[in-house]
Amino acid sequence: MYGLFTRHRGAIRVGTATAALGLLLAGCSSGSGSHPGGPTAQNVFNAGTTGVRNPSTKVGGTLNFIADGDCDYWDPARTYYGHCWDMQRLFSRGLMAYKALPGTGSLDVVPDIATAPGASPDGKNWTYHLRTGLKFEDGSPITSKNVKYAIERVFAQSVINGGPTYVITFLCPGGANAAGGCDTYKGPYVDKDPSHLGLSTIDTPDDNTIVFHLNTVVGDWNYIMALPATTPVPIGYDQGPKGGAKYTFHPISDGPYKFDSYTPGKNLTLVRNTYWQSSSDPFRKALPDKIVFTVDTNDIDVDNRLINNIADVDINGVGVQVATQGKILTDPSLKARADNPITGATRYLAIESKVAPFTNVHCRRAVQYAVSKVDWQTARGGPIGGGDVATSMLNPAVKGYTKFDAYPDDNGKGDLAKARDELRLCGKPNGFTTHLASSNTTKGKNMAAAVQSSLARVGIKVTIDLGDNATYYSQFIGSPSVNRRKGFGLMVAGWGADWPTGYGFFSSLVDGRKILAQGNSNYSEVDDPKVNSMIDEAVGTTDANKAAAIWGQVDKQLMSVDATLVPMTWDKALVINSQNVTNAFILTSLLGVYDFQAMGHV
């Protein structure tokens, strides 16, 4: 998923997580307050990565969420930040959803508004049935046509852009075009047929049934149907003045909470949706009465608010600042409410292959050797806050990971001699100048400075350009033409799997047929025919182990031959909640952030 945050796998013990959830569910069945003693009821360091910290069934109160930037979009079809997908679970329900379990227990998908996982006899035709009695926040009924319409909106890329486009790839009649769009269907804002027949590859034979006719075999389809874009959308509302591109300001809820007030870039208040029924929801408990989200662009202030119990949760999940780490790790009372999860994301540098001199592979390889991954790691907070030094794009938390190192460099410190050799081969023996894009967060600035300093060792002079964190991926580096015009030769980025397979990790990142004019995720503009071919081969492989092996080869091709992506660290984060939070546990499926919908207030 976008940038720093998407679906991913993580090495958390399943047995412990499952046992912890059993304790939580047992407490829920009692209908009482907090759960009695036991290992998951104790506040200990990392308790939320393997179990549930402070389990409780208490209803009521207000949770105060905070972050240093707003979500990219609140429209479920447009958001591509992992923590924002997690926020969607509060007010947005699609066909499938990730399990509400700690750690690796969350990697599986379960039916949400569907009654069962999609069934397919051939991997191409998938049928889902909706639960009965579902309603929008205004009390109007939800039907299969609302789900179909929601997916059709993704095809209107000139209006509904920024989010994943897998449904276009597999549902476009006649196949997607070279740019990843659909020439034969342009979405519901162009298609004004009053009967709303819409996309021919989706059938709705009755109000509770929806059938997808894919153009190829896709074994991961139930994972794709767990993406937020399957959230039903009321057709009349979206076709009105508050719909389309403006839908992000008040998406219509089918979950336990709904928008009460929203000021972009500042705050959002969610209140109960009285038309949501717990009996129709497989996992949501909806404990708080209200959730208030506030944007505070001062990262240190965010940390202090959490430590002092003024704010309850930092939804970003990227971890506290370096200066705050020491306070937490040396204070037992603070450490007891902190976690250090593996996020499953890879932090990396994207090299824009269409910006000179990076049109030359040797100039790209010079960066691979010259950059100091250790300095980057330190800038993010060392092994605790910055993660492990990376040698490949796929990380150990993603199926398909293959251990290799195409650019050995003294344990991540760089190999300056080989970097200078590559500079000579690319015709720039004395180095060159380029621009580096990064976000304006404290860590974004620190990482950019670390890259600037390490590349200067071989004469590569870097000018740093900073973009707003909330729109960094969707708008600042999400347009190839803009990147070329600004001369963004290097871009700080992070990526986790949209779902926990090699395809979920790599597709939007390196498929040359999915380079978009806006909302692009293939920042390097990688368009390698061999990579594209291997992607198709892996997608059509129903044997999970064989598909994983192909994804490992994709990784090697990208690193050794294309050299457009520089893996820097496999991500970890030190995160902390306030003393007010109950039911805190990490979702490995959503980049190691807390499951916000499960949380309650003491």
Q: How far are the Cα atoms of 178, 322, 331, 335, 444 from residue 327, in angstroms, in the given order?
A: 51, 10, 6, 9, 21
Q: Are the C-beta atoms of 491 and 352 separated by less than 8 Å?
A: yes
Residue 539: the pLDDT is 86
Q: pLDDT tens across 205-235, in order? A: 999 999 999 999 988 899 999 999 999 999 9
Q: Are 167 and 152 in contact (CB under 8 A)?
A: no
Question: What is the distance between the alpha carbons of residues 259 and 551, in angstroms, rounded to a whole number?
Answer: 40
Cα distances (angstroms) measured from residue 510 to each of 143, 156, 407, 534, 551: 36, 22, 20, 11, 12
Q: For residue 533, what are the contacts with CB-CB under 8 A and spacing of at least 6?
A: none
> If 0-12 CB within 10 Å is exposed, 13-18 middle and 19+ buried, where does residue 556 land?
middle
Inter-axis angle of helices 529-539 and 544-556, nearest 10: 170
Rounded to whole angstroms, the Cα distance separating 110 from 27 reads: 22
Helices 544-556 and 502-510: crossing angle, nearest 10°?
Answer: 40
Contact of 27 with 519, CB cutoff 8 Å: no
**Inside any domain, residue 146:** no
Contact status, residue 363 vs residue 32, Cβ threshold 8 Å: no
pLDDT at res. 488: 98
User: Are 123 and 542 within 8 A, CB to CB?
Assistant: yes
Is the Cα dihedral 355, 359, 361, 366 positive or negative?
A: negative
Name residues whose C-beta falls within 8 Å of residue 167's C-beta, 6 or more positions apart in sequence: 151, 154, 155, 224, 229
Full domain range(s) for residue 540: 342-572
What is the distance of C-alpha 265 from the center of its chain?
19
Residue 361, in any domain of the structure: yes
Domain count, the chain: 1
Regions of the chain short of the pLDDT cut 70: 1-42, 193-196
State the pLDDT at residue 31. 32
> Would 512 be classed as within a structural domain?
yes
Instruction: Please check whether residue 373 lies inside any domain of the structure.
Output: yes
* 8 A C-beta contact, residue 150 and residue 77: yes
For residues 490 and 90, the answer to whether their CB atoms sit within 8 Å is no
Q: What is the CATH number of the domain that holds 478?
A: 3.10.105.10
For residue 17, the model assigns a pLDDT of: 29
Q: Is the residue at 474 inside a domain?
A: yes
Residue 91 inside a domain? The answer is no
Tens of pLDDT, residue by residue over 259-269, are 999 999 999 99
In a domain, 402, yes or no: yes
Task: Report which secondary-structure segment, H or E, holds 475.
Answer: none
Given this model, what pLDDT does residue 212 score? Answer: 98
Question: Domain for residue 187, yes or no?
Answer: no
Which string of b and e fits 486-495 if b means at least 16 CB within 10 Å? bebbbbbbbb
Residues 6+ apart with CB under 8 A from 53: 40, 43, 47, 337, 577, 581, 583, 584, 585
